[in-house]
Structure 1
Amino acid sequence: MTTAAGPMPVAPPGSPRHPLDPDPTRATKARAVFALGLMGALTGLLIGGVVPATVALQLARQARREAYASEGFLTGAAWLRRGESLAWTGLALAAVTVVAAVVVGVIRLAEAPYGHDFAPNVD
């Protein structure tokens, strides 16, 4: 293994990071989590929001794990938090829709006539 010739760069005094460290960048998964969470929240009442919301929550777990492993060089925690909250909102809206549909179905079933409805001339 060979090293580059010349002196190593020296960090200015008071600098918290080494000059060879990479620049902090926003995680691309953070934007994806936000976009999927927004789609999940907007389509949550139509039950279709369950899929993007679930994918957003899975991506958020991966993005948090990668951000932790990067030791602070991946940013975007605010986008992750917003995306996760929107995804949970979408799942809650889908659950409310399912519960409302079940309640309406049970009420309609309870109002239906019980037994056979024979003609008036049948004993």
Structure 2
Amino acid sequence: MTTAPGQLPVAHQPPRHPLDPDPAPATKARAVFALGLIGALTGLFVGGVVPATVALQLARQARREAYASGGYLTGAAWLRQGERLAWAGLVLVAVAVVTLVVIGVVRLADAPFGQDYAPNVD
């Protein structure tokens, strides 16, 4: 095979079997990305724990389906990004919860303990 100067040689693909399915985008991969994005955006408000958890569960299912399909399901990049966003959302939820607990403990420590009597009461 000859090519013109500056062109790369074309790799020949083996012929596909006529019964092989066409590669199709995995719908769960986009759902994982969307839920991961929602989880990351609402992570500081503690509401991100639900979509992030659902995204991680869907990601497990999508990975199993992609493996079982033998490479005919596409969308691995969406899946990876969605998982990363979901984990970021869970980290933000953890940071928000720890911050709220620390603020609560500090406020509780500043509060007077017991009955507060007037200065002229013995």
Task: Report the TM-score when normalising by structure 1.
Answer: 0.86
Task: Report the TM-score when normalising by structure 2.
Answer: 0.86
Q: 1:121 is matched with which residue?
A: 120
Q: Following TM superposition, by how much is the alpha carbon of 1:82 offset from its aligned partner in structure 2, in angstroms?
A: 0.2
Cα RMSD of the aligned pairs, angstroms, is: 1.3
Q: Following TM superposition, by how much is the alpha carbon of 1:72 offset from its aligned partner in structure 2, in angstroms?
A: 0.5
Q: 1:52 is matched with which residue?
A: 51
Q: 1:8 is matched with which residue?
A: none
Number of aligned residue pairs = 111
Structure 1 moving runs of 4+ over 6 Å: none
3-state DSSP class of the match of 1:34?
Answer: helix
Residue correspondence of structure 1 range 74-113 to structure 2 within 5 A: 74-113=73-112
- Gapped runs of 5+ residues in structure 2? 1-11
What is the distance in 1 between the residues matched to 2:109 and 2:121? 26
Letter in 2 for 1:15: P
Change (3 A) 1:41 1:14: closer
Letter in 2 for 1:91: L
Q: Following TM superposition, by how much is the alpha carbon of 1:16 offset from its aligned partner in structure 2, in angstroms?
A: 5.3
